[in-house]
Amino acid sequence: MSSAAELPTPPWRKPRRGGRTRRPLSRDLIVETAQAVVRAEGLDAVSMRRVAQELGTGPASLYAHVSDKDELLELVADRIAGQIPLLEPDPDRWQDQIRESARAARRVWRSYADICRVFLGRIPTGENQLRVAENHLAIMRAGGVPDQIAAWFVDRLALLVTSDVLEEAVFVAKVREGWDPAEYFAQVRGYFRSLPPDRFPHIVSMTDHLMNADGDQRFEFGLELMIRGLASYVED
């Protein structure tokens, strides 16, 4: 009995794609895919199901590589932290190096929407995040900052950067929904000026000062304030 010959493909049926194979599923690929989703759409767009869809697989296959969404987001945040450059500690430039590192971290985190929400209520322990903290501690020790002060400053500096980035992410999300920041700030300015001057004399008289400067200027002010305070702990 002869074997049946393979039937030709009907002309109305699209041929199967060939020549390309999907990359093997791995933790690195899962994290990379989740990172791309965060950058394009923000943290709320990330789910195990969404990442699985992007990879052309089912959510169950992801759990062989990451335990849950929380671990995935921690891995994404740490992968992003790897983009923050590390500096060779210079005792003569330690204050400038802290400024440079803080600005670089802010630039990196700002390009990933609200990823900094991952840090709220938890201590970062990823390898890349630890490298950044280690670098900051090394810079401050080189500059003569006492160990306890340096340890507290690492925490406060991270909070300054992440809170600044998160507030900007909130504004960006509102703008996408049709919110007009210029109109809002004009309304706040007008409201402050309309307050009873006998009850709020300083707010009324300082309205222009309170509403002055953009986010970059305010971040630089906060950073400078912290570094000047830090420098006061260094003995001459």
Identify the CA nearest to 200 among candidates 210, 187, 215. 210
Identify the CA nearest to 76 among candidates 22, 26, 34, 17. 34
Collapse the DSSP code of 64 into the 3-class scheme (helix H, G, I; strand E, B; otherwise coil) and give the result: coil
pLDDT at position 213 is 86
Parts of the chain belonging to CATH 1.10.10.60? 27-80
pLDDT at position 113 is 77
Number of residues written out for the chain: 236
Q: Which CATH number fits domain 27-80: 2.40.50.100, 1.10.20.10, 3.40.50.620, 1.10.10.60?
A: 1.10.10.60
Residue 9: which residues within 8 A CB-CB, separation 6 or more?
A: 15
Residue 236 to residue 233: CA distance in whole angstroms? 9
Per-residue pLDDT of the chain (236 residues; tens, 9 = 90+): 545 566 666 666 555 444 444 668 999 999 999 999 999 999 999 999 999 999 999 999 999 999 999 999 999 999 999 999 999 999 999 999 999 999 999 999 999 979 999 988 888 899 999 999 999 999 999 999 999 999 999 999 999 999 999 999 999 889 888 999 999 999 999 999 999 999 999 999 999 999 998 999 999 999 999 999 999 999 87
Tell me if 96 sits within 8 A of 51, measured CB to CB: no
pLDDT at position 11 is 67
Amino acid identity of residue 63, one-letter, is Y
Tell me if 30 sits within 8 A of 55, measured CB to CB: yes
Chain center to CA of 233: 30
Residue with tokens 């030709």: 8
Identify the CA nearest to 139 among candidates 150, 123, 127, 148. 150
Q: Which CATH number fits domain 86-231: 1.10.357.10, 3.40.50.740, 3.20.20.370, 2.40.50.140?
A: 1.10.357.10
Parts of the chain belonging to CATH 1.10.357.10? 86-231
pLDDT at position 120 is 87
pTM of the model: 0.85
Burial of 115 (0-12, 13-18, 19+ CB in 10 A): buried
Residue 109 to residue 77: CA distance in whole angstroms? 9
pLDDT at position 122 is 87
Collapse the DSSP code of 231 into the 3-class scheme (helix H, G, I; strand E, B; otherwise coil) and give the result: helix
Amino acid identity of residue 24, one-letter, is P
Tell me if 208 sits within 8 A of 188, measured CB to CB: no
**Which 8-state DSSP code applies to residue 84?**
S
